[in-house]
Structures are given as structure tokens and as C-alpha cells.
Amino acid sequence: MHWLIKCRAKPAIDELRAATLPAHTKFLDGYAKETWYSGPIFTDDNKNALGSLRLIEFPDREAANTYINADPYTKAGIFQSIAIERWMPRLEVRQRDYPRKPDTLQFVIHAHDQADGSARRAPLREAHEAYLKRHEGIFIARGPLLDDAGERSIGSLIMLDVANKAEAEAFWANEPFNRAGVYEWVTMERWRFGHV
């Protein structure tokens, strides 16, 4: 199983983060096999860290929870909140093998369905897949968020590699699921490749 782990940092923890970084990096080295993507979330100007996003493979939620609770960042009290959600990768490329592009920015779109999201998705599936195919050159990773049983889509995760935020926003504005109101809420945040 694959999991999205999104951690939101407390404010004013830059010094604590810097002091804990060596232990955190060593911890990540112990999960090289399990980690698909890992990196910090930043403000749009790339000056302030807001947290982190990881896409990682574990057999169940308990293992994912044990992993993040053992992270030195978590133990040091850096995180204000931690969200763990089941995720299904639609692309097979991992961060170590992703061909980095010069002069691009990375953004992560994290979206949760409305209560009737599944019903809204169904008639748009073909248009959605065609739209993604037309934009396949800008994806780092993408795939649905699922309930823990893996039986129902509850949202979407898309990581983009684009020239600027305007390009990311233009892509999302015309995405069929988004235009049809499938999602109850959406965040688009600056992300960058971290230590894996």
C-alpha cells in the first residue's frame, strides 16, 4: 500500500528544524526502499518552510503512523499536524529516477472530494483521462486518494513540475474534475525535491 503523509509545521521553528536536520536525514536514509517521494512544502517565494509531503510505501496505516512518529522532526515537536491518507500511484517513476528539469518549480495539489464526489467523477472519467494525457509532461507523480480499504476514491494528489505557479493554476483551472465541482477543498502549495 502507498500513503501520503503531509506534515504541517508549527510557526517559528527554523532553529529547531536546523538543529534536528542531521538526525532527520539519517532517519530518512533508513527508509530509502519505502520512499517514493519526500520533500518540504514552502511558501510560494521559497523562503519559509511550511511542512513536508512524503509518498511512501507501507503495508498498512499503522506502519505509516509508526514511521512518522519515529521521525526526529516529530519527536522534536516540529509538526503542528500530521495527515496520513492512502494513495494509489498512477505513474511508476520514483524521486530517485525522476529526470530533473532545469529552471522549473514544483507544486503539489491536494484535493478532497465532496460527499457525492464519486457520482460526479463517473461521467467525467474519459475527459479527465484525456486531459491528463495531454499534460503528461508536467507530472512528477499523481493518483487518487482512497479510503483505507482501497475501495473508494476520496480525493486526488498531483505533483507538478512547471515553469511557474501561473502554469500550475492554468492546468488546474481546466481540469475536468475540478471544473465540475468534484472537490470540497483543494490546496496548491510549493514543494521541492528533498532527501531520499
pLDDT > 70 fraction of the chain, expressed in percent and rounded: 100
The CATH code that applies to domain 2-87 is 3.30.70.1060
Stretch 169-191: mean pLDDT:
97
Q: Distance (Å, rounded) from C-alpha 20 to C-alpha 54? A: 18
Q: HSE (CB half, 13 Å, CA atoms) of 131?
A: 15
Determine the topology of domain 95-191 in CATH: Alpha-Beta Plaits (3.30.70)
Judging by beta carbons within 10 Å of its beta carbon (0-12, 13-18, 19+), is residue 110 exposed, middle or buried? buried
Whole-prediction pTM value? 0.95
What span, in angstroms and rounded, lies between the C-alpha atoms of 46 and 57?
A: 28
The 3-state DSSP class for residue 148 equals coil
Where exactly does CATH 3.30.70.1060 map onto the chain?
2-87, 95-191
Please check whether residue 54 is in contact with residue 37, taking contact to mean a CB–CB distance below 8 angstroms: yes
Residue holding cell 522549473?
A: 104
What's the pLDDT score for residue 117?
Answer: 87
In this prediction, residues 88-101 reach a mean pLDDT of 96
Q: What is the pLDDT of residues 42-67, one digit of tens each?
A: 998 888 889 999 999 999 999 999 99
Distance (Å, rounded) from C-alpha 186 to C-alpha 67?
26
